Structure formats: C-alpha cells, structure tokens
Structure 1
Amino acid sequence: MSDRLRILVAVDKYKGCLGAGDVARHLGRGLSAALPTAEIRLHPVSDGGDGFCTELVPHGFTLHTAAVTDPLGRPAEAVFALGHGSAVIEMATSSGLAMLGSAELAPLRADTVGLGMLIRAALQHRPERIVIGAGGSATSDGGAGALAALGMLVHASVDPGLHGYGPQTLLHLTAVDLTGLTVGGTRVQVATDVTSPLLGPHGAAAVFGPQKGATPADVATIEQALSTWADVLEPAAGRWLREIPRGGAAGGLAFGLAAALGAELIDGIDTFAALSGLADAVAWADVVITGEGSMDSQTTSGKAPMGVLRYARAAGVPCWAVVGRSGLTQDEVAGLGFVDHVALTDHADDESSSIQNAPRWLEHVGRHLGAHFHANEAAVPLGARLVR
C-alpha cells in the first residue's frame, strides 16, 4: 500500500460561478501545491442539475448534441450522454434557467418541449434506460411540453402551437390523448435533489416558482395551472400521483413523466454516484473533500455534499467540505458528520471577491487545507490516513 496521502475531490458546482469540474480542478491545484507527494483524484459530482451528463464523460460516457428549442421556443442545441446502456439527459441544457437572460424569464410561458426533443434524440440510440437530471429548470409546465413532443395530444381552449405548453395554456386544458405517446419500451427515470410534491405550500409553484421569475400572483396562477394539469392527466394515464414525493421537481416535470410514462423518481446524487463509480473512488481515498456554492439548511435535503458524505461515512473515510459561503456553524457542520468545513468567504476580502475570483480563492483554500493535512498527519479526524 502506498504511503502517499490519497485525497478525493468530489465537489458539486458553485452555482452561477463555476462548474463542478472547474471547482475540483482549482481546489486540486491548491492541494497539490501544499502536498506535492499526495495522490489527488478529481471526481466532480452532480445531484441532477448542471453537469449531470457532462461530468460523466471521464467515466465511460460520450456526449452527443441535438437540435432542440429553448424554454421560449427558440432554436437551441442541447447535449446528452451515452454509456453503459444508458442515455443521461441534463434538462438544464434544453429547458434551463441558464438559457435565459434575467429579463427573459417567463414563468407562465416557458415549457419543456425542448426536453421532449432531447429525449427523442436519445431514443434513436435505443438505450435500455433514459435518466433525466431534473435540476436548473426554467419551466413550470408539469412536463406537458416534453410529453407533447413525445406524441401526447393536448386539447385546450387556446392553441398550444401559438402559446406553448406553459401554465398559461395548462389553465385552459380540457383533455389529453396519450395513445400516441411512446418511448419504445425504454425505462425512464427522473433524478432530482428535491422531495417536493406537485402542489401545495411545499410544491412546485410555491417553492420553486420565485426562482424562475414568478411573482406572488404568478405563483397562484402556476398552482392552479398544475392542479388543472393533474385533473386532466391523472385519469387519462390511470395514475394518481399528484402527492408523490419528488413530483414537484423541475416545475412538476417529475409528476408528468411519472404519470404519463411510468417514470421512476430517484435521488440525484445516488444516481450520479452509481453512474460514475463514486463508491469505489471514495473507498480508494484517505480523505474526501466535497462542497457546493452555498452550505445552508437546504444542504441537508438531498444536495450533493450530503450524498458524498454518506458514501464517505459508509467507507469510514473522513470528509471535509469546501464551500463558497456557509450559513452553518462549526457545531452544525460537525453534527452532520463532516470533520470540518472551509468557506471561500473565510479567506477572501469579501463575498464579491470570493465569487469574482473564485479560482484564486479555491487554490488558496486548497493550499491552506493541504497544509493543515500535512501538519496533522497522525490525527485521523484532521484528515490523515486511515489504517485499513
């Protein structure tokens, strides 16, 4: 067995700042500078949002592109990954918030037609299953647009061809016809980091609508539209799933695909872990470092760092977190099971600098953490080697 310290960097994106791969790379550089003899592996992760398919490329997947439409119906190009009998789709590349400018947010109009086009493109490769990462969406159409692109017929008192399949159309639904809807026997899974149902105070409209530009009045409209959608879709599909956990993910996309296609709703980070071999990577390591842009009360609700921590604890490997900023105390972080956490804001001049100069501060924190590991090589809780 090597005497070199083995460090696994399994970080998620810093949302709105850096992708997971960039976060891992800069943190790794800092660690290497402080610990030149250490073995450092980068294993960026995703819980279903940005990077869900692109970060699989190092793990035997290939990227493919497809012509789609964006959330507002404009031509766009999106990607999906193929490997090991699976097609992995990152809905954010076809129906995501990042595709729209801040002045373009249209929560009552945006739809998932582009996602349906991306699913069609992936189906041409005849995968055994399609896994859809449901993070980062700009839409609240309950998956109606995606299902329409896959063959569902929609009857409404307004023309979806003119108005799209967003909430402003769902309000006027009268019926749907699912007889032409098919995915050719391919198993469909929706991977998400949230457990919200479709409707109610913890549902798609109330919790996630404001993130997509919805005003309080818009939230009420979206709630009514999704309720109407469920009233029409459930009897047509023969599945009553409006209260199913995770159904509110991606503006109700998860509910729509579960009801119409029998899609399985699954945990995002566990899915990514299985696809990327995360458990084996953690078992290799002496220290695991995870993280995300903001560590706060939402971190505990299925976010990637908590998933990585679970794998580390199962393998008996100490786990640290490096985050952009933290709203948790040391005791709260320790209570979750992390050895410790370090925030860029603890080292940067101010929060603005920690965002604008994130690569610099990640490398700085990496050097700081590496020096800490070096100074405490004999103390397991401080990140030293475990005796196996």
Structure 2
Amino acid sequence: MAEHPAYPVGLRLTGRRVVVLGGGQVAQRRLPALLAAGADIRLVSPDATPSVEAMADAGEITWERRPYEEGDLADAWYALIATSDTAANAAASAEAERHRVWCVRSDDADRATAWTPATGHSEGVTVAVLTTDARGRDPRHTAAIRDAVVEGLRDGTLVAPHHRTRTAGVALVGGGPGDPDLITVRGRRLLAEADVVIADRLGPRDLLAELPPHVEVIDAAKIPYGRFMAQEAINNALIEHAEQGKAVVRLKGGDPFVFGRGMEEAQALAEAGIPCTVVPGISSSISVPGAAGIPVTHRGVAHEFTVVSGHVAPDDERSLVDWPSLAKLTGTLVILMGVDKIGKIAEALVAHGRSPETPVALVQEGTTAAQRRVDATLGTVAETVVAQEVKPPAVIVVGEVVGVGPHGTA
C-alpha cells in the first residue's frame, strides 16, 4: 500500500453512521468537521475531553461510555480510531477491514485505509492537502501548504478566475483605519475579484497598488475644503458600473456604517435594484486609539465610551449631538472628523460641566507609518492643535483613559 499514493475523494456523510473510538484531543479536533458534514456520529470511549463531552450533552453526538468492543463498526460508513490502547486500535482496524469500512488511525497511519488531509475553507471552497508519498508523510508540510493556499484565497493574493457568469452587484467594503493589513480577509478577496473600485481617500491606499492592471480605480476622495466627488455622483457611478455587469467594490475607510454614508449608498443601490453586499470594517473609533496605546474602556476608569461626529460645531443649528448630556458622562468620548472644530467642542464640554483638566489625545494618521499622537487637555487642546499643526484625519479621545497605558496607574 505504501508504494502507491492515496486516492483523494470527498465523502458525503450526511445522515450516515461514523464511529469515533476515543474521546481525546484527536476526536476533539476531528469531530467539528464531521458534524459540519452532517454525519450521524457514535462515540465509543470510557471518557472524553470537556469539549467532546459538551457535544454529547448538546445532543450533537451519541456517546457510549465504554471501551471498544467487537461489532462496533458493523454499521459504519467511516471510522476514526483514536484511542490510547494500541491493541484496541489494531482490533478495530481489523474489523473495519473485514466490513470494508474506510478507517483512519491516529496511532499508525501506515496501517489505516484512509488518511485525513489537512483541510481549510474559503468562501465555499474546501482545500484538502495530502502527501502523495506515504514514506515521506510530513503533517507539518501538508498543513503549511494548506495554510498558504487558504490564506491566498482569503486575502486575494491567490485568485482563480470565475468561469461562470457572476451576478452584477456592489460590495460596500470597510477598509479599516488605514493599515492595509487591517482590512478583513473577505474585503481583500473582493478587492482582488473586482472590475471597478471606487475608493475613498481614507481607505487603505496601499491596496490599490496590488490591483491587476485591468481594474478601473475611481477616486472618490472627499478632501475637506477641497476637491471632492459629490455623493450623488458616487451613487450614480456605483449603479452605472454594476448595470454593466461589473463587480464593483466601494472601498471606504473604517466601517461603511460608522459616519461613512454607507447606508445612503445601500439605499441608492436598492432603489436601482442592484444587489449590495456590506462587508464591515474595523472602525477607527476603536482601532486608532488602541494603536496609540489608549483603551477606550478600562476597569475602574471608564465603563462606557461614546463615539460622535465632530464635523459640525456644537453651536451649529445642524448639530444633532447632545453636547450638554455628553459633558455629564464620566466615560470616554471619541470624536471623529473634529480636528478643526475641537476648540468649540472643548468649550462646550467645559461649559456644561466637564473639567478643563480632562485629558485629550489626538491620534493623526492612525495605524499608518505616519501615525503620531499629540496630548493635551480640554483647556489646552485648541491651542495645541494649532501649535502642533494637527491635521485630519485624526481621532480625538477625551477622558481619563488617555492616561492609561501599558504601565498605567489605574
């Protein structure tokens, strides 16, 4: 048997009996995939790990609390032998051979009739890797190959062309706070499959350089007090390209629904009958303070945090923020898009009861190579922003958590 490679095949186990002998770590690792395959699982073992026992308690598997006995494999389609009793493993393997039951052995792969491949999953695709030479089986090598293929599929560095017709649509992808490594794996994969990318200035710009030459990139940057692409024009561009049957990605900074106008775009697409997928992103309101060493909550310091938009000043009639109520909170206040309004925001907070000594941190270009942190207080932040030439994008954190670092006092 060792002279020939294994024949790869996918087993359809839904409703079919699978017998697992042994309730230890091997069973704990293998059972979830067997459950996902819909197998009717019968576990035979005197004991089991807590996780395996929990599966039995939940009714996911049938557990017979005893050692292996002759006849346990009679009705099985597939068997996993993983006990610590070598003699029992050999007897069960022999029974499997007599009943023509494909059998995996954790203690002696060469005496098994089946091998478990290193498997991984990505968007409806299962990757299974087997060593072809039985004499040179190296589980770590096959696992490494599996990991490389799955990671490539997930992050878009390994892309297989779609030969079937794709459904036209738009993906609203949250690109995260700026570091290209902080986009979700699904977002990165959709970028790799896109025909058109409509990108914000605050999206992870480095990812655009990785796109194939045929991908059309549309700059939807909205630069404060400068050139910008009107929202209506963005909506129209999304609809126009999707109606041409193209895969469109709207790449946004942070999360599409955290001050990203993602719902406006989703509504416009719905009105036009265009399918829309929302891919959440890591919001800068949490990730940027974290990258600068600031936790938005901390035991004994802050039991809540509030995220507000600062693009409209407190004294502006368009403001929807209840600044007097925010001033009375004792937790953390995170302000986005508020660099040029921070002076008036600080005045409002102090006027309604927040101490002028309250710590403030401004984190500019968070998570990128240009990140920098500037500290102040509510009483000094207006002049500090000018003196330190703090520019957007910057996340502003107000509260005692600003003083809590790796060696904090709280």
| The two structures share one fold, judged by TM-score above 0.5 | no
Higher relative contact order at CA 8 Å, sep ≥6: structure 1 or structure 2? 1
Which structure has greater helix proportion? 1
Q: With structure 1 as the length reference, what TM-score do the two structures score? A: 0.26
- Decide which structure has the larger Cα Rg and report it: 2
